[in-house]
Every structure is written in structure tokens, then in C-alpha cells.
Structure 1
Amino acid sequence: MKKILNNPADYVDEMLDGLVAAHPESYRRLGEGGRVIARAGGPVQGKVGIVSGGGSGHLPTFTGYVGPGLLDACSIGNVFAGPSVGDCVDAMRAADGGAGVLRLYGNYGGDRMNFDMAGEMLEMEGMETTSVLVADDVASAGPEERAKRRGVAGLVYAYKIAGAMAERPGTTLGEVTAAARKAVSATASIGVALTPCIVPESGKPTFSIADDEMEMGMGIHGEPGIWRGPLRRADEIAGEMLDRLLADTGIGRGERVSVLVNSLGATPHEELYILYRHLARRLAEAGVTVGLPLVGRYATSMEMAGASLTLLRLDGELEALLRAPANCPFWSL
């Protein structure tokens, strides 16, 4: 597979330079050679800061969601590799407006280790911090082992809800942290992969799959899924994904949800709307109301073909936070 790049070793840094050059009103890059994106206007004094991070290769996650009503700063590493401790520290400092900083990121070992270390270092300097892990991928562990689940597209809901809470005047770090935890506990996701992607530095596909095959439940880095078999019709794919999420969450008649149908990179909007068509009909038949559908590229895996489905169980508070204003080049309602 061909890629548009110069030197593979410069892939992430040149992407960050281009991101900031294209959107100077939204983003700034910190330091010489650092991999931290922060709000263009700097930290908001008196507001709880929110930071995230992870490997590159998932735009708009992670750095794309820096902006009012969302994240304050974000650190990233190489493609599919976690950010460094130093960049995590710099991101937290860039987000600090004096009211504490929430670390909000996916449940991956390298991210946990480096963000925890950064948090400990800054807490020794007097910064107040908390941490919330997003673990929404139902294919990676059962309900009884929810804490072991991977964090995938559910990160987007956590960013939006925590970010909206942090924008409310006088909100404390504890309140923002509670909102993030509430969002995470109300979120469940599952993905389906049709093709691999290629990490620029390796130049090789992340996994192999036949042209007529799909894998249900595969992770965004090529982690093993639930089953692999012949490619199915769109309605069958959407139906199985929804069935698995409803069984896991217990969402049923009379409830209200937000639905995120997400492209893993190569899948076009046309195919996402074919999936959503079936999902909307099935949810209506089940007596479940869709409060806010999101269809598009929200959390990708380079050029992987496939999609993920995320459900967020809504109540009045979560829906109000989800609908609150936010501003970044990758978010719109």
C-alpha cells in the first residue's frame, strides 16, 4: 500500500506541524521537537484542565479534540505507540489553569504507565490531578472484567462530556472527574475490521486478512476479535454489533441513547450511513430513542477499512453536556 510521506521517521512531527499550520486559531505545538498540542490561547485560568494522549494514527483522536468544551492539551507518540513521560508532563502543565488537571485516556499499558508517572511527578510539585481510564470495547473483555477492556471510540463521548462540565464556571476537579466516570460507565463499543493498515515506520500490514473476510471485534491496533469469517451483508454486520452492545449494556425499551457510527479510516460515509439506516430501524423497533446520532470519522486506525459502533446511555445530565457548545476543527453537531 502506498503512503504520502517523506521520511517515515518524520511522519508524526510533520503531521503535527501541518495540523497547527492549518488551524492556528485552534492549536499550538509546545516546545522544540515536543509532541504536545494545546489550545491556541493557552490555559484558562480558574478552569479544570483536561489532558489526553496516546499513539498517533487515530486522528481526530487524540490531538484533534483540543479546544473549548473538549480537551485543553494532548500528548502523542509514534504511530500506535504511547506518548513519552516528558510530553505527558508538558501537556498537563499546558492545561493547568490552577483548578487541577484531569488525565483522561484509553486503557492501554504504555499510556497508563507514562501518564501515571507524569501525574505523580506533578503532584509532588503541588498540582492536583485525577485520572479516568476509558474502557469501552466489549469485545476485549466481558462485563465482569470491564476494567480490562480497551479504550476505543468511547473516548470521544468522554472528552465531550468532561469538557463541557469543565467549561461550567466554578466546576471543581472532583465534579469534572465524576462526569468523565459517568460517561465512561454509560458507554460501550464494538468494531469490525475488513482490512489492515500499515504503520509508516514498519512498512508492513498490522495483520493479514483475506479479501473476502471480516473480523468482528478486532481492536484498533489489530488486536484479536471475537470471530473471523466471510464478509457479511451490511444489515447483518450492524445487527450483530447492536445485539452485542444491547446484551452487554442492558439498554432497552423506554431508554434514550446517543449512537456513534465511526469509520476506522478507509470506510466512506456512504457505508456508515448504510449501517446507521439499519441501526436506527432496529433501535426504534426496540423502543429505544436516539437522542444524538454521530456518523463519521471520529477515532480512526490509519487507513484500516472497517467501522465501530458506540452506544452512550443518556440521562438528562449527559445529554445536556453532550449538546453543550464545543469548538475544534473536528467536532460539530
Structure 2
Amino acid sequence: MKKLINKVEDVIVEQMQGMAAAHPNLKINLEPKYIVRNEATKKGKVVIISGGGSGHEPMHGGFVGEGMLDAACPGEVFTSPTPDQMYECAKAVENGGGVLFLVKNYTGDVMNFEMAAEMLNSEGIETQNILIDDDVAVKDSLYTAGRRGVGTTVIMEKIVGAAAEAGYNLEECAKLARKVNSRGRSMGMALTSCTVPAAGKPNFEIDEDEIEIGVGIHGEPGRKRIAHTSADEITAILTNAILEDEDYTRDLNEWDIESSGWKKTSLTSESFKSGDKMIAMVNSLGSTPVSELYAVYRKLDEICTEKKISLVRNLVGAYITALDMQGCSVTLVRADEEILKFWDSPVNTPGLRWGK
């Protein structure tokens, strides 16, 4: 293992300290660990918080700032943060508008965020959890019940963060987050494994002439392992899996203020069709150079154009990574006027910046 680290046990703390030193608009807390904006939350504003295992940077800490997240909780590498982290983080930034947790669909994250929401709601701090489950590769995995939460997380954090900045209340932010999730689909692939510092060896074994199609962001297996092939063929496999994904409905577990408990609702995601407008993200899983990502975007655009689907906004780069994994993911989110309005709104975070 060759990595730029000192002691394995200090990896997360030192990375957080470096982030705070590089970005004075952020403030860190080390016990428990969380990252917040340096300025106090505006009275009555909904605070948008996310988090998860470290190793996926810039997500989530790199998306804390104006127009995006108010705070983020980093767990250990590929390990969910604890309920206490999320509770203390929310208490540090909440200022009368309530809390919206954006939660990737991994079993540990779901359970721990629900526990944090219960604690906050019991104290009269209105809190809601929104699940992200956009990975079309597998219906269930070693880490999840249902689809995994991946690239749509970044797009949701931007759009819902901007809506909260603009004055949306908690229910309006939650409704918008559900809409983004229902319109987002992703799929990834790996050329190589990644190495978790504490393990000191690759997370999984893959031969030099093989690639994993549908890999998860922790190295979970995907749909299939195939012989290495061209960038165009790989892009076509990922894109067609997304575009051909059928309508699907799943249960949601959301906090009900009136009954002070969790209630089941359902959400249906409609398949994509000709005439749709999309926000597209071609994402590096850590070690794939931007030059190769543009080759993927070229083929993605070609396939979508053939199907009369327009890519009206895009991100190309490393936004949700898996440490040093070589590979990429493709995310498409069907856009409308509301989504594009908040996508285009100014943002100023370490990982995403535009506008004023």
C-alpha cells in the first residue's frame, strides 16, 4: 500500500484539519466529527445535512457551503457516522427552520440517521430524512435493502441546498428532494479495486483483463464481470442500463410529526423517454483522469442524442469517489424548470463553485 498518510488512525482527523485550513469558510468539530459552515445559520432557514463513510471525497464535506449543505458528518472510511455525530451536528447548525437529512441507501446510514432524527424530533426540532436510491445496477446488495444511493446524491445536495437558501420550508425541501431522487438514475464500473488504509490491501480482486460492471462505491460487486473493452462499449453498457431502466416503486420510511413516529409511504420513479432534458454527471471513482471522463461523456451525449434526450447541464470530474478506485459512474437526472432554477443558483463550496 502506497498512500499519503501518516498513521492509519489519524487519517480522517488530519484530512478534516487540512480541509479547514484550506477553506476558512468551513469549521470542523473533532469530537464528535462534523463539518459546518463558519457563519451561523440564518434564523428560520432549513438546514440541509448529509454524511456517510469517508473515502468518497469531495462528497460530503467538500459540498458544505453557500448554496449546498449546511453541514456534513464523516464516518470512518466506508463506515457510517454514528447517530450522536448527526445529532450533535444538527444541534450545532439548526436555527428554527428544521433539519433535512439526505441519506444514501446503505443499511448503516439509514439506521443511524433514523436514530438521530428520532432524538431531534423528541426535542421538538422538526427533522425529516430523505433516502437516495438511484443505482440501477442491483436491486439489493451486501450493504442495502433496495437500490444503493450513489451519484444522484451530489445533484440532490446542490438542488435542495439552493432551495433552502432561497427560503423553501422543510416540507417544500423534502418534496423537492423526493422529486430529484425519483428522477435520478446512476450506474458505475471499475477497472481496479480500491485500498482501504486500515486494511492495507485491495478491497476486492480483479484480473488485469477484467472490469466490474455495476460496482458500488465501496467496491461491492455489480451486475457482472466482463473482459476489458473500449471506452465506447463501456459507456454504452452504463448508459443503456440507465435509459432502459423501467418504472419502479419502493416504500419510504418517513417521520410523521403528528404521530411522532415513522410511517410508510411510496414513491414511483418513471423511466426516461424521448424528449427528456437531463442533468448529466460523468464521475471519476478516484483514479480515472478527466481526459478519459470526457471520452465517456462524448459517447454518453451521442447515445442520448440518438434517443432524442437532451443533456442540458453537466458535471465531469471527481465528485463521489471510492478512494483510489479506477473507474467511473454515469448519473442522469431528469430536469424541469424548478430543478434547473436551483441547479443554476450560485454555489460556493470546496467541491463545487459557480455564480456570484
Same fold (TM over 0.5): yes
Instruction: Give deviations 1:99-121, integer Å, cap 9, x for gaps.
Output: 10001120111111111111111
2: CA distance between counterparts of 1:328 and 1:160?
A: 10
Q: In the alignment, which residue of structure 1 is the partner of 2:291?
A: 270
Out of 305, 308, 331, the position equivalent to 1:284 is: 305
Separation in 1, partners of 2:326, 2:40: 36
Report the residue type matching 2:20 in the other structure. Answer: V
- Deviation at residue 44 of structure 1 after TM alignment: 2.1
Supply the distance in 2 between the matched residues of 1:267 and 1:237 (Cα, whole angstroms): 14
Alignment partner of 1:330: what SS? coil
One of 319, 322, 325 as aligned partner of 1:301: 322
Deviation digits for residues 275-326 of structure 1, max 9, x if unmatched? Answer: 0011111111211111101100010000000000000011111111111111
> Given the two structures, how large is their TM-score scaled by the length of structure 2?
0.89
In the alignment, structure 1 residue 47 sits paired with structure 2 residue 68: no
Deviation at 1:147, TM superposition (A): 7.2
How many residue pairs end up in the alignment? 327
Q: Is the 8 A contact 1:64 1:329 kept in 2?
A: yes
Matched, 1:154 2:175: no
- In the other structure, the counterpart of 1:22 is 22
Inter-partner Cα distance in structure 2 for 1:290 and 1:256: 6
**Alignment partners' CA distance in 2, 1:95 and 1:186:** 29
Amino acid in structure 2 at the alignment position of 1:188: R
Question: Which of these residues, 209, 215, 218, is aligned with residue 218 of structure 1?
Answer: 215
**Conservation of the 8 A alpha-carbon contact between 1:135 and 1:147:** no
Asked whether the 8 Å contact 2:106–2:145 carries over to 1, the reply is: no
| Partners of 2:41 and 2:34 in 1: CA distance | 14
Letter of the 1:274 partner, please give it.
A
Q: Which amino acid aligns with 2:58?
A: P
Q: Which residue is equivalent to 1:90? A: 88
SS state at 2:245 partner = helix
CA RMSD, 1 decimal: 1.4
User: Structure 2 CA distance, aligned partners of 1:95 and 1:179?
Assistant: 21
In the TM superposition, residue 173 of structure 1 has moved relative to its aligned partner by 0.4
- CA distance in 2 between counterparts of 1:215 and 1:51 reads 32
Query: Which 5+ residue runs of structure 2 have no aligned equivalent?
Result: 247-270
Q: Which has the higher helix share?
A: 1
> Aligned match of 1:138 in 116, 130, 136?
136
Paired position in structure 2 for 1:111 = 109
Structure 1: distance between partners of 2:192 and 2:157: 28
After TM superposition, list the pairs within 5 Å mapping 1:1-333 onto structure 2. 1-25=1-25, 27-30=26-29, 32-141=30-139, 148-169=146-167, 171-248=168-245, 250-333=271-354
Q: Which has the higher strand share?
A: 2
Percent of pairs with identical residues: 44
Aligned to 2:268: none
Q: Which runs of 5+ in 1 are unaligned?
A: none
What amino acid is the match of 2:54?
Answer: S
Paired with 2:111 and 2:170, the residues of 1 have a C-alpha distance of 22
Equivalent position SS for 1:181: helix
Q: Is the 8 A contact 1:188 1:311 kept in 2?
A: yes
8 Å contact 2:134–2:148 — kept in the other structure? yes
1:52-81 CA-to-partner distances (Å, cap 9, x unmatched) read 110000001111111111111111111000
C-alpha displacement of 1:236: 0.3
Of 112-121 and 249-258, the range deviating more from structure 2? 249-258
Separation of aligned partners in 2, 1:140 and 1:242? 15
1:43·1:94 contact (CA, 8 Å) conserved in 2?
no
Deviant stretches of 4+, over 6 Å: none
- Tell me, yes or no, if the aligned pair for 2:107 and 2:145 is still in contact at 8 Å: no
d(CA) in 1 for partners of 2:334, 2:13? 37
Q: Tell me the secondary structure at the aligned position of residue 291 of structure 2.
A: helix
Q: Normalising by the residue count of structure 1, what TM-score does the alignment of the two structures yield?
A: 0.95
CA distance in 1, matches of 2:276, 2:145: 25
Residue identity matched to 1:24:
P
Distance 1:6 1:297 in 2: 24
CA distance in 2, matches of 1:70, 1:197: 28
C-alpha separation between the residues in 1 aligned to 2:118 and 2:31?
24
How far the C-alpha of 1:332 sits from its partner, in A, is: 3.0
| Deviation of 1:188 (Å) | 0.3
Please give the alpha-carbon distance, in whole angstroms, between the structure 2 residues aligned to 1:87 and 1:165.
25
> Amino acid of the residue matched to residue 319 of structure 1?
L
Distance 2:92 2:291 in 1: 39
Counterpart secondary structure, 1:156 = helix
Match of 2:257 in 1: none
Aligned residue number for residue 267 of structure 2: none
